[in-house]
Structure 1
Amino acid sequence: MGAQAREESAPLRRAPVQRRSAERLDRIVDACAALLDEVGYDDLTTRAVAQRAGVPIGSLYRFFRDKRALVTALGERNMEQYSDRLATRLPRTGRDWNAVVDLVVDEYVTMRRGVAGFATMDFGSSEALSLRLAALLTEHLGAPVGPDFQRALRIAVEACDAVLRYAFRDDPAGDALVIAETKELARAYLVRFSLEHRPGAFTK
């Protein structure tokens, strides 16, 4: 990947150095999240975000090329928050595979219900989410992720994402029965990688 392509793929044009700049960046991303809930992505404008954040439009463009980069940054922030929540709670699950799966789904549902803009831009891509989950599970279980598990995890993420979107389609809080079925789906599909059922399956 060339330098220009890497620059275009990064959401931030420049990282904040001073505390004041970091706070301004946070306000801009917060404003973006709130407006996504109000008007959706298609009607979102950088000017409206700048106005909501209380910053000059030029300040926004010092950080972001366009609204796509801004929304991508929101997705990355959501990913970091989600990862932090999982990392804090995973030790409580031990090696109980069902508890691990439940936690992964429950933390998503919690953010879907309470984090502004999450309904429109959760993490940006299922591939990024599956890679982050693999890294967290590697650390938690003390075993490297093998290619079979990585592929299965990606498929589980894709499937659960579709079912959870269905759960929230007509219910802002999410249909509890559909959420429960999402956990059943993930448990049943990934059970062959449970260390309790097949030691070593996780790394194959």
Structure 2
Amino acid sequence: MTRCYVKGEMENSGVRRRPVQQRSIERVERILDACAELLDEVGFDALTTAEVARRAGVPPATVYQFFDGRPGMMRALALRNLDLLLLQLRRRADDEPGLTWPRAVEIVIEETVGMRRTVPGFTVVDFADTRVGGASFLPPGQIPEGGDILAERLYDFATGQAGLPPLPDPYRVMRLAIETTGIALRLAFQNSRDGDPAMIDQARTLLTAYFAQLTRHRPAAPSR
């Protein structure tokens, strides 16, 4: 599995000008924080750059100075959320030597559920905008769908940093696991802000069994 997402992230992250000075970095983070809060309050369709600027305490032109409008802010939020997930996964992996794929799946589900409960705007724009019928805000790079970036970064982390063995047909396995998790968590959080524990547990059971079967009965194939 090649890391073709990198070029796409740099060119299509939605950030027009990357901040260098600390003051600019803080301003960009303030804009993203305001955007995330407003997503929770008014939703994506009612979100405006003018209101984001007002909430962040910056002139509207400042938003466009750093971001390619509303889609750019969404892409930046999605990538920030993905970075946050990977940071949490690194911490968890460090605490659990001898990690297995089924256990790694449990950890990913636990951390994603935690983010849904606590991270502003995450239910609207998580890692690749999973709203039904919505566009994907992650940059496509050299691959057709933004969700592939999530698959590649998770797999690269698992095999390159967490010490997990390669999977057979990793591209399809990771895509299927991500899509299945996304559907299960949408159902779990459909009528509850904290999520339906039984549905979350069903997702955990389904995915851990899938990865246990993959790693038990099939020989590992070289990563693509």
Cα deviation for residue 188 of structure 1 reads 1.8
Residue 32 of structure 2 is matched in structure 1 by 29
| Residue identity (%) | 39
Of residues 57-66 and 37-46 in structure 1, the stretch that sits farther from structure 2 once superposed is 57-66
Give deviations 1:149-188, integer Å, cap 9, x for gaps: 2211111110110011000000100000100111111112
Give deviations 1:96-133, integer Å, cap 9, x for gaps: 33321110100000000000000000012432221111
Cα deviation for residue 92 of structure 1 reads 3.0
1:50 corresponds to which of 50, 53, 61: 53
Could you tell me how far apart the structure 2 residues matched to 1:176 and 1:164 are? Answer: 10
2:91 corresponds to which of 77, 88, 91: 88
Could you tell me how far apart the structure 1 residues matched to 2:211 and 2:42 are? Answer: 38
Runs of 5+ consecutive residues of structure 1 not aligned to the other structure: none
Give deviations 1:66-89, integer Å, cap 9, x for gaps: 101111101110000001100111
Could you tell me how far apart the structure 1 residues matched to 2:66 and 2:39 are? Answer: 19
TM-score (normalised: structure 2): 0.81
Cα deviation for residue 16 of structure 1 reads 0.2
Runs of 5+ consecutive residues of structure 2 not aligned to the other structure: 1-7, 129-145
Greater helix share, structure number: 1
Cα deviation for residue 193 of structure 1 reads 3.2
Are 2:82 and 1:60 equivalent residues in the alignment?
A: no
Distance change >3 Å, CA 165–CA 18, structure 1 → 2: same
Residue 118 of structure 2 is matched in structure 1 by 114
The one-letter code of the counterpart of 1:182 is A
Spell out the pairing of 1:162-177 with structure 2 (5 A cutoff). 162-177=183-198
Are 2:105 and 1:101 equivalent residues in the alignment?
A: yes
Residue 78 of structure 1 is matched in structure 2 by 81
Cα deviation for residue 138 of structure 1 reads 0.8
Q: What's the RMSD between the two structures over aligned residues? A: 2.1
Could you tell me how far apart the structure 2 residues matched to 1:161 and 1:183 are? Answer: 12
Residue 133 of structure 2 is matched in structure 1 by none
Residue 15 of structure 2 is matched in structure 1 by 12
The one-letter code of the counterpart of 1:132 is R
The one-letter code of the counterpart of 2:118 is G
Question: Is this contact kept in 2: 1:149–1:193, CA < 8 A?
Answer: no
Spell out the pairing of 1:168-187 with structure 2 (5 A cutoff). 168-187=189-208
Cα deviation for residue 146 of structure 1 reads 5.3
Residue 126 of structure 1 is matched in structure 2 by 147
Cα deviation for residue 192 of structure 1 reads 2.9
Distance change >3 Å, CA 175–CA 123, structure 1 → 2: same
Distance change >3 Å, CA 163–CA 33, structure 1 → 2: same
Question: Is this contact kept in 2: 1:36–1:120, CA < 8 A?
Answer: yes
Distance change >3 Å, CA 162–CA 18, structure 1 → 2: same
Cα deviation for residue 191 of structure 1 reads 1.7
TM-score (normalised: structure 1): 0.89
